[in-house]
Structure 1
Amino acid sequence: MIRLIATDLDGTLLRSDGTVSERTRTALNAARAAGIVVVPVTARQPRGLKTVAEAAGFTDYAICGNGAHAVHLGSGQTLFEEHLPVPAQSTLAHQLTVARPEVRFASVRDGGSVFVAQTGYAELATFEDHKRHPHEMEACSLERVLAAPSLKFIVRSQLLSPRALLGEVQRLELDGFAVTHSGAPFLEVLAPHVSKAWGVEQLCGRLGIRASEVLAFGDAPNDAELLHWAGRGVAMANAEPEALDAADEVTLNNDEDGVAAYLERYLAGLPS
């Protein structure tokens, strides 16, 4: 019996235009009516959830920052936070800058409300990257970016794709952090044990829900751990190889309302 649905947003629950279809909203409502907790699990920060939450009917828990923190959307209460320590992000930034001088960094802090960007970062960014206008990003020295722990530490190159940049990071052979990418044009660096799976596990511990009672949906490399950890992991047809390899099943793509299609079949099979 599924007691909690953990779903990624971009590329998974949302269509390519960023909307929640009426079919998807109806399926989510039906799951909630069946007593299932439905939780968005996203790389976004809480400020980037407002429109989606209204469209999808999310009013309770949300896992943000790739699992680094959880909030209650109704009350605004922070359930937990896990930060990347200053020494780990500083070592990564300084060594990577030597190898790739064009790389720029940003630090997400204070529940996701504070975004500290290195000089030159705003010129690489669009609003959709962080649900924050680039002109709001103050140009800061690298030392200021590194001065406090990060919920999420952003690493970006104007010359390399995220996959290629990930290879550069891995060649440094550093430890003390976890690194992933979500389909956005940058890498996301977290505390060493943090992932979407870790975040959902923390929430489930509070709610008394076992991993075997979790149904998860995702499409990107940062969803792979969650799809593997959950009792039932479902990748979208448009998913990246890491997500497809980690999943138990595959549903339709996000523009075909794959989450809704799967939930409709699952809910139809429940005892009346």
Structure 2
Amino acid sequence: MTVRLIATDLDGTLLRDDLSVSPRTRRALDAVRAAGIEVVPVSARQPRGIRMIAEQAGFTGWALGGNGAQCQHLTTREVLFEAHVDVAVQQAVAAQLAERLPGVLFVSVRSGGEVFIAQDGYAELAHFEDHKRDPATMGRHDLAAVLAEPSLKFIVRHPDRLPAELIMDVRALGLDGFAVTHSGAPFVEILAEGVNKAWAVAKLSDHLGIDRAEVLAFGDAPNDAELLAWAGRGVAMANAHPEARAAATEVTVSNQDDGVAMILERLLDDAG
């Protein structure tokens, strides 16, 4: 397999549990870039969250954030594409879900991922690690304000429901016009219809003139499953969710044991 693009998830995959890039992983990333291979972070994080670790990882080019809803260049800030959840879709989901699940709360992420409009009460449930954002900056908005504009990512959270349960609740509404996923964080993420990490990497690959068979992908969570199945070679981490493992063509060691670096080192050895 000829690899021209490496698409890697961050949290639970490239990053160790303390959110660091190990020296071994950084050496491996630098080596594949020196070999002319494009390395692209593909994350549920917004670009601002990706930029928090960009220097550690040496990321300076294209980044796919919001589970694929946006493609932004980390250096020039050029936006290649964005996909938004329609206002009408958000309103329908919120109205029906609030009736079914009292206490459910919503967030609209807008404007390149920089604007975070959280419903009153959401910040009390949140921690910095959830969104790589201080809860004190999330605001306290009424639901009408949350639903007023299209979202790159529409977040659904309930104080007593696990993400896997919430996804079933959303799907049970029987509505269409959106995609829903979760990344292991304590909420679910609603995206524009058809949007996921595979969709985004496919669009970027087309832009770069790279074939699907030339893509090597890494991931660990349910929101990585489509990408791992789509890529020419999909690698799940040993710590991966069963959905990600089932979608992958192979499994490497855990993020704590530098599983991405191990595969990249072998890739270069085989090419050498």
Q: TM-score, normalised by structure 2?
A: 0.99
Aligned partner of 1:75 in structure 2 is 76
Distance 1:76 1:169 in 2: 33
In the TM superposition, residue 263 of structure 1 has moved relative to its aligned partner by 0.7
Q: Alpha-carbon deviations, 1:113-170, whole Å to 9, x = none?
A: 1000101111111111111111111111111100000000000010011011111112
Compute the displacement of 1:4 (Å).
0.1
Q: Deviations along 1:34-53, whole A, 9 cap, x unmatched?
A: 10000000000111122310
Identity of aligned pairs, percent? Answer: 62
For 2:63, the aligned partner's letter is A
* 1:101 aligned counterpart, secondary structure: coil
Tell me the equivalent position of 1:268. Answer: 269
Question: Is 2:11–2:19's contact at 8 Å kept on the other side of the alignment?
Answer: yes
Mapping for residues 10-29 of structure 1, pairs under 5 Å: 10-29=11-30
The unaligned stretches of length 5 or more in structure 2 are: none
Q: Does structure 1 residue 155 correspond to structure 2 residue 156?
A: yes
Name the CA distance, whole Å, in 1 between partners of 2:209 and 2:61. Answer: 16
Q: Distance in 2 between matches of 1:77 and 1:112?
A: 13
SS at match of 1:74: coil
Task: Name the CA distance, whole Å, in 2 between partners of 1:230 and 1:61.
Answer: 18
Q: Distance in 2 between matches of 1:228 and 1:95?
A: 32
Shift in Å at residue 171 of structure 1? 1.3
State how far apart, in whole Å, the 2-side matches of 1:195 and 1:47 are.
19
Q: How does 1:1-272 map to 2 (within 5 A)?
A: 1-271=2-272
Scaled by the length of structure 1, the TM-score of the pair is 0.99
Aligned length: 271
Distance in 2 of aligned mates of 1:50 and 1:177: 27
* CA displacement, residues 209-252 of structure 1 (integer Å, 9 cap, x when unaligned): 01100000000000000000100000000000110010000000
User: What amino acid is aligned across from residue 46 of structure 2 in structure 1?
Assistant: Q
| Rounded Cα–Cα distance in structure 2 between residues aligned with 1:25 and 1:177 | 36
Which amino acid is 1:30 matched to? A
Unaligned runs of 5+ in 1: none
Alpha-carbon offset, residue 77 of structure 1: 0.9
Secondary structure class of the residue paired with 1:216:
strand
Q: Is the CA contact (8 Å cut-off) linking 2:50 and 2:65 kept in structure 1?
A: no
* 1:49 counterpart SS class: helix
User: Hey, what's the Cα distance between the residues in 2 that align with 1:247 and 1:106?
Assistant: 31
The secondary structure found in structure 1 opposite 2:264 is helix
The farther-off stretch of 44-53 and 88-97 is: 44-53
Structure 1: 4+ residue segments shifted above 4 A: none
- Amino acid corresponding to residue 246 of structure 1 in structure 2: A
- d(CA) in 2 for partners of 1:137, 1:222: 24
